[in-house]
Amino acid sequence: MKHQFKQRIIYKDTDAEGVAYYAHYLEYFEQGRMELLRSLGISLKDLKEKYNKVFAVTRVECDYSSPAYFDDEITIKTELDKVSGAKIIFKQEAVKDDKTLVSAIITTCAISLKTFKPTRLPQELTALLK
């Protein structure tokens, strides 16, 4: 499964030189993951309310290749890489003019809100993800 959306680099997301601040890509990638799951019919609000589970990011591998600047329009691309047990691994990219600016592999884990420990994904969600 894949999803993408456009993101404009706004002033608050840049440093003094007008370059997109590196940490904001993690926010863009978060939005990409949520939109991908939503496009599959998975509501994180329902996951929390119905199953008492949430996702936590457990690992981020991020490569910064080229900057984006104030007022640039970039595309955030997200795809599912692997689903197993409690984990979902995503591959993500920030792209401008077919050039990858930032790439990431982000691992998330379902956790129980009762124990704050990893817990298997509900069967019906796993079916939607495969």
What are the residue numbers of the active site? 15
DSSP, residue by residue, 65-99: -S--BTT-EEEEEEEEEEEETTEEEEEEEEEETTE
Q: Is-contact 110 119, C-beta < 8 A?
A: yes
Phi, psi of 120 (to 5 degrees): -60, 150
